[in-house]
Amino acid sequence: MALNDHDQTRIREYLLGHLSDEELEKIEERLMTEDDLFEELEISKSELIEEYCAGELSQNEHEWFEQHYLASAEGKRTHAVAVALNAVKCPIPTPRKLTWIERLRNFLNANRWAMAAATSTAVVIIVAAVIVFGPRPSTSSYAFTLNSTLSQRSPGEVRYFKVPLNPDLGELRVTLQIPERATRGTNYRVELDDRGETRSFKPASHDENSVVVVIPASAVRENLYALRLYAIKSDGTEQAIPGDYLFELVNPARMPSTPK
Amino acid sequence: MPKGGPTQENWDRLLLWLDADRDQAGERYEKIRRRLIGIFSSRGCCDADDLADRSINVVLSKVEWLLPNYVGDPALYFYAVAKKIYLEDLKKKPPPKVPLPDTAPPEVEQLSDCLDDCLDELPAGERDLIVRYHQFEKQEKIQNRKRLADELQLSRNALRIKVCHIHSRLKRCIELRLGEKTVG
């Protein structure tokens, strides 16, 4: 039986504890016999976990979902995968910037024993804390993974990975997947090409299959970019890894909205 | 049910009850078990697998009578038994205090590693789809998914189903890899 919007709503209500006992039995009987409805249940579970993680559920719904589906072994597994998926693919959340006084207060709260030791030491700590924990620009990091155009299925089709250029963007943390048959290096160099000039970056880390490069937001603007990867061999020579890694920085406000 | 668990004879009867074709019957059985687990999980049962198996065992103990007498969809009989098992279980033990799911459990790093590996195993188009599907939050997320559906010339529901299938494969892959890591 084909699903309709009412069924989708019903399944959400089922998972959020909004159904009476009678309604619950009816929907569960249908879940036992209708493939589409059971599929909808699986989809809704994932979507509700997303909403749960994003704090988009009401207080009652949040608690119900937590004490029911998320209490099950399956719910815990799905929740853990959703958290991992967000941790890898979503912007890394950064805590609200603290003023230097807050930083200093936190520091001292965590180190009360140091206060008791000697006033002179405390003065040194306070001075050091002001220097170390002084205000820094508010930044956020945007992490994403790119594959070489070499490993794309349709080489004719050039696709730029769209990255929102948010005003508080501090850095781009890009993971470049090394194509399977490409030469591995003992180290790597990454070149950023904005179709006008190229700049080199030293990777933050690398392993057998990927290279992570951190690009400060100050080095980029709304534009199309290509990253190129060079393997540095043990004798110091460089070999270009074929293919480009393409991305586009887009002002979120200017991202095209979908026609209705 | 005779002591010592279900007999082979009863299993054979159960499969015959589900479908005359043994392969079809096997698939049907798996489907019913998966749905019982899904329902028990939705009701918040920690041991949904166990409850599903207990329900199946009760059905197995009655299959000799069911085969010639029961009229209707066998899945609904399984469900009727499952409801009783659930109520019995609820009486036996009060629902445990549920610890709040940790948004950053220590295993997340391990999970993330597995997820990375599993994403790598996906065809480039599907990997790209999953990465893009999970971008943004709230209104931006909704707009992003509309755009994606348009780009792929899919209805929004077809996109949800497509992503759900990829999620299922990712989950299976992650569980497999986590299992390997535990064994290794």
Q: Between these two residues, A129 and A5, which has the higher pLDDT value?
A: A5
Amino acid at B149: A
**pLDDT reported for residue A137:** 42
Local structure of residue B43 (DSSP, 8 states) = T
Q: Which residue has the tokens 């924990």?
A: A133
Q: Between these two residues, A14 and B127, which has the higher pLDDT value?
A: A14
**pLDDT reported for residue B132:** 87
B124 CB within 8 Å of a chain A CB: yes
Tokens linked to A10:
């019903």
Question: Closest chain A residue to B149 measured between Cα atoms?
Answer: A258
* B159 contact partners, CB below 8 Å, separation of at least 6: B133, B145, B148, B149, B152
pTM exceeds cut of 0.80: no
A69 CB within 8 Å of a chain B CB: yes
How far apart CA B93 and CA B86 sit, in angstroms, is 11
Nearest beta carbon to residue B101 from set A66, A151, A256: A66
Contact yes or no for A38 and B115 at CB 8 A: no
**Using one digit for the tens of pLDDT, what is the confidence trace for A38-76?**
999 999 998 999 888 888 899 999 999 999 999 998 888
A177 CB within 8 Å of a chain B CB: yes
pLDDT exceeds 50 at position A132: no
Complex ipTM: 0.86
Mind spelling out the 3-state secondary structure of chain A?
A: CCCCHHHHHHHHHHHCCCCCHHHHHHHHHHHHHCHHHHHHHHHHHHHHHHHHHCCCCCHHHHHHHHHCHHHCHHHHHHHHHHHHHHHHHCCECCCCCCCHHHHHHHHHHHCHHHHHHCHHHHHHHHHHHHHHCCCCCCCEEEEEEEECHHHCCCCCCCCCEEEECCCCEEEEEEEEECCCCCCCCCEEEEEEECCCCEEEECCCEECCCEEEEEEEHHHCCCEEEEEEEEEECCCCCEEEEEEEEEEEEECHHHCCCCCC
Q: Between these two residues, A157 and A126, which has the higher pLDDT value?
A: A157
How far apart CA A170 and CA A79 sit, in angstroms, is 29
**pLDDT reported for residue A133:** 41
CA distance A227 to chain B (A): 17
**pLDDT reported for residue B98:** 53
As a whole number of Å, the CA-based R_g of chain A is 25
Per-residue pLDDT band for A108 (boundaries 50, 70, 90) equals very low
Contact yes or no for A81 and B116 at CB 8 A: no
* Portion 4-63 of A in contact with B at CB < 8 A: 14-15, 25, 28-29, 31-33, 38-39, 41-43, 45-47, 53-54, 56
Question: Closest chain A residue to B170 measured between Cα atoms?
Answer: A81
